[in-house]
Amino acid sequence: MTGDGQDTTGPAAPAPPRVGVVGAGAMGSGIAEVAAGAGLDVRVAVRSEDSLQSGRRRLLRSVDRAMAKGRLTETERDALLARTEFAVGLDALADRDLVVEAVREHEADKTEVFAALDKTVLAEDAILASNTSSLPIVRLALATARPGRVVGLHFFSPVPAMPLVELVGSPFSDEDALARAGNFVTDVLGKRALRCPDRTGFVVNSLLIPYLLAAIRMVEQGVAPAAAVDEGMILGCSHPVGPLRLADLIGLDVVAQIAVALHEEYDEPQYAPPALLSRMVAGGLLGRKTGRGFYAHA
């Protein structure tokens, strides 16, 4: 206030968004961790009590690793955990301002989640975002009665370490929703938002998946073992990690799902999943998450 009674403080800053996350797997728990680490009120919705407990354990392991590496103090760790709540059922997300869906990369499952969120999240201007790595956002938006509020926020694994988020708008997405989602990524989480077209695979996976599949074909055809392929790309091309170890980190099931989506969309041979990949997925050799893929993982 000035002496003449005029308010010179300007409008109040908008309240930090109350964030909801659907799913407590590697991606969902990672998104919850970075949002809570940024000081936000976070609620994670899961299907069952078992998922709730496993999600809590996954988050606890991650923040404990961060504390052991000096990235978090014990006080910061405890505050982050206190800001993160887990609940069974989507009803827990009714009061959220921003909800990020992070269930498995299966269109029917994601569509079901968005149809339910549309009936559950009460704020008319709430943003419903998908962490899909390959599906066009327009398909998910059309499962709702508010397609203008639906966007893509594709985080990369591991979420706490990776700085990029692909920001995707469908033909229906409101510019306000995209701007708010972009500000959430950059101003709140401190990550880099890359605006992408609404096409299967967006930018990164349209380039990455054919590269990973080509490496798998080399192993399948006996050109070179996995370790040699990876060593060649690390030492010969200055890649920080080889394609087969990266595929193990992503999850061979996820690589296969994205490849199938790309192949169905574009019908180009470089997107076709190799038989070796399909057999490994069928056999449960999914990489780091199961302890064995192209490599053995402790």
- What is 19-196's CATH number? 3.40.50.720
**CA angle in degrees (0–180, nearest 5) for 257-22-166:** 60
Evaluate whether 19-196 and 205-289 have a shared fold: no
- Is-catalytic flag, 166? yes
The DSSP letter of residue 203 is T
**Residue 263: which residues within 8 A CB-CB, separation 6 or more?**
271, 272, 273
CB 100 within 8 A of CB 121: no
Catalytic residue, candidates 105, 130, 166, 263: 166
Distance CA 11, CA 208 (A): 44
Catalytic residue, candidates 51, 130, 173, 205: 205
- With 0.75 as the threshold, say if the pTM is over it: yes
Closest CA to 117 of 93, 153, 152: 93
Q: Tell which CATH classification among 3.30.750.24, 1.10.1040.10, 3.50.4.10, 3.10.520.10 matches the domain 205-289.
A: 1.10.1040.10
Catalytic residue, candidates 62, 130, 131, 133: 133
- Is-catalytic flag, 154? yes
Residue 15 is predicted with a pLDDT of 58
pLDDT of 1 over the 80 cut: no
pLDDT of 5 over the 80 cut: no
Residue 86 is predicted with a pLDDT of 98
What tens digit of pLDDT does each residue of 89-105 get?
999 999 999 999 999 99
Q: CA neighbours within 13 Å on the CB side: how many for 84?
A: 29
Mean pLDDT computed over every residue of the chain: 94
Distance CA 126, CA 49 (A): 27
Task: Find how far residue 207's CA is from the centre of its chain.
Answer: 18
Q: Using 50, 70 and 90 to split pLDDT, how confident is the model at 84?
A: very high
Distance CA 185, CA 194 (A): 10
What tens digit of pLDDT does each residue of 109-152 get?
999 999 999 999 999 999 999 999 999 999 999 999 999 999 99
Distance CA 220, CA 154 (A): 30
What tens digit of pLDDT does each residue of 212-224 get?
999 999 999 999 9
What tens digit of pLDDT does each residue of 185-201 get?
999 999 999 999 999 99
Q: Where are the domains of the chain?
A: 19-196, 205-289
Residue 14 is predicted with a pLDDT of 58
SS3 126: coil
- Is-catalytic flag, 297? no
- Is-catalytic flag, 268? no
Residue 162 is predicted with a pLDDT of 95
Percent of the chain with pLDDT over 90: 93
Residue 298 is predicted with a pLDDT of 84
Distance CA 254, CA 178 (A): 26
Catalytic residue, candidates 105, 134, 154, 173: 154
Q: Which two tokens stand for residue 27?
A: 């991606």
Residue 188 is predicted with a pLDDT of 97
| Sign for the pseudo-dihedral over CA of 35, 36, 38, 39 | positive
Q: What count of other Cβ atoms lies within 10 Å of the Cβ of residue 145?
A: 9
**AA letter at 264:** E
**AA letter at 288:** R
